[in-house]
Amino acid sequence: MRKNAIIATILLLLATISVACRSSAVSETEQESTSEKKIVTVGFSQLGAESDWRSANTESMLTALSQENGFNLIYKNGQQKQANQVTALRMFIQQEVDYIVLAPETETGWDFVLGEAKEAGIPVIIVDRRVAVDDSNLYTCWVGSDFALEGKKLTAWINAFTELKGIDPGEVHIAHIQGTLGSTAQIGRTRGLNDAVKKYGWDLLGAKNGDFTEVRGREVMAEFLREYNNINVVYCENDNEAIGAIDAIEAAGKRVGPDIANGEIMVVSFDGINTDAQQYLKEGKISCIAECNPLHGPRVQALIKTLEAGETPEKYNYVQETLFSSVPEIKVVTVDESEGTKEYQVEIKR
């Protein structure tokens, strides 16, 4: 009898221990699954939907910051108005999101609302264009392109073209279609052209704002054609403007192409994501496109993961980009880096 009692007690003890272990394992598993499943809430303020580049950028961001990737994304489109973006950021702050991601329309006017985000302890990641604020601690980090370098690359290509064809720099007559004034992309690409005009001695006829859209590109190109009869290069600050400009040039009965010695008008551009522009490049209607990569979604996702792990990402994260050329003889151009003095070769993709 006593023996049975002892065996029963031991069995009861073993059963109790195994239940305790299983429950702690379950709770650990649950904890692990809970921590693995931690959903990160992100408020993303996109500036608008003005171009194919912007659409590709938005799609990349929404795909990367998806629920299956562990995010609860609150997406707001600013319709090209900074006031709408400021309202969106204030809403994100009220909702106490974990992170704010901002693709700013233009560089200035962000100090106050970014100060409110900082006050609320919400890290801000800037994507694509930059913000010009007094205190760069108002945002955690930025990812995007070096727009001044893009301008350097494209103007280096124009110079290589004139040298290849033996065209006198003074015979290069440029119509400049700018992007949204005050945006980092416009500031950098415009600086690239203005510096090159001084460096090579080109004739810059004028600059008009095409606002990165096809409609405005067409309108301002028509204005240029009414004002000047010697345009032989059109420097467009994105592909949508270039497509509109080509429409206007052809509507005026002129030809687009690299044969400027025989009256063609050479069109160059930025981005390289628009399928029509890529087709124009193949046909030679656009002579060169400086790549501007819109696929920032995975890059922003990686920055958030770094922050979630308690690590500090680089403050400024530049995307590597190249040139697309329709002129096969030009295979590489040499540019010096925007800030540095190092020269480097830009392999041209065909």
Residue from the set 85, 140, 238, 326 that interacts with ligand GZL by CB under 6 A = 238
Q: Taking CB under 6 A as the rule, does residue 219 contact ligand GZL?
A: no
CB closer to ligand GZL, 88 vs 290: 290
Residues 43-62 that bind ligand GZL (CB under 6 A): 50-51, 53-54
Q: Cβ–Cβ contacts within 10 Å for residue 204, how many?
A: 17
Nearer to ligand GZL, 145 or 155 (CB): 145
By CB under 6 A, tell whether 292 contacts ligand GZL.
yes
Q: Collect all residues with Cβ–Cβ distance below 8 Å to 209 and sequence separation of at least 6.
A: 177, 178, 179, 180, 181, 216, 220
User: What is the C-alpha separation between 5 and 321, in angstroms, rounded?
Assistant: 79
Taking the C-alpha atoms of 267, 273, 279 and 283 in order, what is their torsion angle to the nearest 10 degrees? 40
Angstrom distance (rounded) from CA 106 to CA 154: 23
What amino acid is encoded at 263 in this protein? G
Determine, following the binding rule CB under 6 A, whether residue 270 of this chain makes contact with ligand GZL.
yes
d(CA 28, CA 20): 12
122 or 273, CB closer to ligand GZL? 273
Tell the smallest beta-carbon distance from residue 346 to ligand GZL (Å): 18
172, two tokens:
């290069």
Interactions with ligand GZL, residue window 79-138 (CB under 6 A): 128-129
Q: What is the phi/psi pair of residue 344, to 5°?
A: -150, 160
Q: Residue 4: phi, psi to the nearest 5? A: -60, -40
Length of the chain counted residue by residue: 350
CB of 58 or CB of 238, closer to ligand GZL: 238
DSSP 39: P
Q: Indicate the residue among 146 and 264 with the shorter CB distance to ligand GZL.
A: 146
Q: Counting contacts by CB under 6 A, is residue 271 touching ligand GZL? A: yes
Per CB under 6 A, 214 contacts ligand GZL: no
Work out whether 212 is an interface residue with ligand GZL (CB under 6 A).
yes
Nearer to ligand GZL, 98 or 296 (CB): 296
In angstroms, what is the minimal distance from the CB of 274 to ligand GZL? 8
Sign of the CA dihedral running 110, 75, 49, 285: positive
Q: Could you say which residues in the range 140-159 bind ligand GZL, by CB under 6 A?
A: 145
Least distance (Å) between residue 44 CB and ligand GZL? 15
Q: Give how many residues touch ligand GZL by CB under 6 A.
A: 13
How far is 131 from 124, CA to CA, in rounded Å? 11
**Binding-site ranges for ligand GZL (CB under 6 A):** 50-51, 53-54, 128-129, 145, 185, 212, 238, 270-271, 292
